[in-house]
Amino acid sequence: MAYKNVLKYSDVTPRADYLNRRQLMGGAAGLAAGMALGPALGASKYSTDLKPNPLEDIASYNNFYEFGSAKGDPANNAHMLTIDPWSVEIDGMVDRPGSYGLEDILTKVTQEERIYRFRCVETWSMVVPWVGFELNQLLDLAGVQGAAKYVAFQTLYRPEEMPGQRSVSLEWPYREGLRLDEAMHPLTIMATGIYDEPMPKQNGAPLRLVVPWKYGYKSIKSIVRVTLTDKEPQTTWNMLQPNEYGFYSNVNPEVSHPRWSQAYEKPIGGGLFAKRQETLMFNGYADEVASLYDGMDLVVNH
């Protein structure tokens, strides 16, 4: 996919100018062949003011076990993945189940830039300027039925293009899940790009979930199936090690991983001498999401 008229974040300072210019450029910015990122990307009230990591960091230090388990494997191997055409099967407790083509989805949702903190359970973190749309828009297209309580997600299973799937490091396909209220929350997005670029394949092209108040593994990549259900879905890391990776996986500096503390994190890209920083409750999104968990024991429901 080729981009015309790419405006790089780093080309323009200060940030206010960048956003204004992007708004002026409107639909001209962010047009991929056959896949429009949509009109006018503006500042979102949900974006952090923190400075995003450069694209080179975000697209070279990855977890995407379908392409290998070392941090550099996805960037080396993900070029094998074909992403065009792409469709998402939406099934289970919805009024309009079926196969939804991505190009068609993108004509019906509103995309915007969301600059989010991102915190991996392994204690590294970064700041990513995603482009995407709220998951609730996709769920509304399918029509969620009243009895649905959870949303289950699956990644593509295609071992010919995903060498990691030819071994049994994880149970394939990779799967994740959210409670319906978490899925409907405006912070929860389906991301299709980073900066003004289409999503790099190693970051989960062409469509991946981003749930910024949860550990990174909840943000499942290269999604092909979304299922509405009334039962808590099985999730990949929980199936592997239930005591280490709970269903909720909310970022919580007070609940340690059995093998390490979660009190601090290391921003990536800072080099050898990067300072660790304190991890924030719900990764800094407590004002927006803490009420979702009122009355819940967050140690039991880790």
Ligand X SMILES: Nc1nc2c(c(=O)[nH]1)N[C@H]1C(S)=C(S)[C@@H](COP(=O)(O)O)O[C@H]1N2
List contacts with ligand X (CB under 6 A).
62-66, 120, 155, 174, 203-204, 216-217, 219-222
Which residue is nearest to ligand X, using beta carbons? Answer: 216
- My answer on whether omega of the bond before 242 falls inside 30° of 0, hence cis, is no
Nearest approach in angstroms of CB 197 to Mo ion is: 22
The partner in contact with residue 187, picked from ligand X, Mo ion, none with C-beta cut-offs of 5 to 8 angstroms by kind, is none
Nearest approach in angstroms of CB 58 to ligand X is: 6
In sequence order, what are the residues at sequence separation of 6 or more whose Cβ sits closer than 8 angstroms to the Cβ of residue 241? none
Instruction: Please tell me whether residue 180 adopts helix, strand or coil conformation.
Output: helix
The CA distance from 122 to 271, in Å, is: 17
Closer CB to ligand X, 155 or 252, in the complex: 155
Nearest approach in angstroms of CB 208 to ligand X is: 7
Cβ neighbour number for residue 85 with a 10 Å cutoff: 10
Which pair of structure tokens corresponds to residue 182?
Answer: 């978490």
Closer CB to ligand X, 133 or 172, in the complex: 172
In the complex, the residues that contact Mo ion under the rule CB under 5 A are 63, 120, 216-217
Closer CB to ligand X, 122 or 288, in the complex: 122
Nearest approach in angstroms of CB 81 to ligand X is: 11
First-last CA distance in the chain: 40
Q: Number of C-alpha atoms within 13 angstroms, CB side, residue 117?
A: 23
Nearest approach in angstroms of CB 237 to Mo ion is: 8
The partner in contact with residue 283, picked from Mo ion, ligand X, none with C-beta cut-offs of 5 to 8 angstroms by kind, is none
Closer CB to ligand X, 19 or 115, in the complex: 115
Cα 41 to its chain centre, rounded Å, is 18
Rg (C-alpha) for the chain, rounded Å, is 18
**To 5 degrees, how large is the angle CA 87–CA 116–CA 122?**
90
Closer CB to Mo ion, 172 or 217, in the complex: 217
